[in-house]
Amino acid sequence: MTIGVLALQGSVIEHLKMIKSVNKKIDAVPVKTIDELATVDGLIIPGGESTTLRRLMEEFNLYTPIRERIVAGMPVWGTCAGLILLANRIEGENPCLSVLDIDVKRNGYGRHSDSFVGEGDFDGMYVNMVFIRAPYITRVGEGVEVLAECNDRPVAVRSGNVLATAFHPEMTRDNRIHKYFIGMIDAKV
Ligand code: GLN
């Protein structure tokens, strides 16, 4: 199994390390080109800055191929900025990939200095959740499953092959959400 991490900007190395920590036999590769994208069974879109990420995605000609792979069923996981890029609606902006029926509000949790570690249940696992200028999920569409809440807000959702978390599991030592995503890919390959 090969898992890619979109490597244009953001917390790329952290995700690659986490995947390796789950299972050394899994290939964890940075994705910057269409050819690299073609080799992966699943893709992580990391946290970072969604405006920068979407601009670079266009510049590297990755927008259309990524969207096509997701629509064709490739498992994808967006963390924080990645979640914003997956959403059908972004308050005050045009949507990007539009493959997940949620509405989001960027920087809902405030500024960098408002970053915090929350905790809560993710699909039956109690986890710490690192929020860094994270988006609010302001609406969850029908058929989208809420996997985690924190302070009474949805913070992790899934719709079929699309997983999204407003927080950063790659910033902790707990690789169980990476394991969950690998399970989504395992169910496909
Ligand atoms: N605030 C960033 C954005 O709106 C996301 C922050 C993050 O990914 N940690 O794109």
pLDDT tens, 132-149? 999 999 999 999 999 999
Mapped onto helix, strand or coil, the DSSP state of residue 9 is coil
pTM for the whole structure: 0.97
Separation between Cα atoms, residue 153 and residue 147, nearest integer Å: 11
Mean pLDDT value across residues 10-29: 97
Provide the 8-state DSSP code for 27.
Answer: E
Separation of 166 CA from ligand 1 center, angstroms? 9
Q: So which residues are the catalytic ones?
A: 80, 168, 170
Tokens read off for 93: 């902006």
Ligand 1 contact, 54 CB (< 6 A): no
Separation of 25 CA from ligand 1 center, angstroms? 31
Mean pLDDT value across residues 9-31: 97
**Does residue 112 have a pLDDT over 90?**
no
DSSP H stretches of helix in 23-62: 34-38, 50-59
What pLDDT is recorded for position 182? 98
Mean pLDDT value across residues 54-75: 98
Q: Which atom of ligand 1 is nearest to the CA of 79?
A: 8
Mean pLDDT value across residues 71-76: 98
- What average pLDDT does the chain have? 97
Q: Categorize the per-residue pLDDT at 188 as very low, low, confident or very high, splitting at 50, 70 and 90.
A: confident
Residue 174's identity, in one-letter code, is: D
Closest CA to 9 of 40, 42, 54: 54
Q: Categorize the per-residue pLDDT at 117 as very low, low, confident or very high, splitting at 50, 70 and 90.
A: very high
Residue 24 phi/psi, 5-degree rounding, is: -60, -25
Mutation to probe ligand 1, out of 104, 133, 136, 168 (largest number of atoms < 8 A from CB): 133
**Does residue 114 have a pLDDT over 90?**
no
Ligand 1 contact, 84 CB (< 6 A): yes
Q: Which atom of ligand 1 is nearest to the CA of 46?
A: 8
Q: Are 143 and 116 in contact (CB under 8 A)?
A: no
Ligand 1 contact, 82 CB (< 6 A): no
What pLDDT is recorded for position 189? 67
CATH domain 2-188 topology: Rossmann fold (3.40.50)
Q: Are 53 and 9 in contact (CB under 8 A)?
A: yes
Q: Categorize the per-residue pLDDT at 11 as very low, low, confident or very high, splitting at 50, 70 and 90.
A: very high
User: What are the boundaries of each domain within the chain?
Assistant: 2-188
CA distances from 186 to 2, 42, 154, 162, 165 (A): 11, 10, 26, 14, 20
pLDDT tens by residue, 167-184: 999 999 999 999 999 999
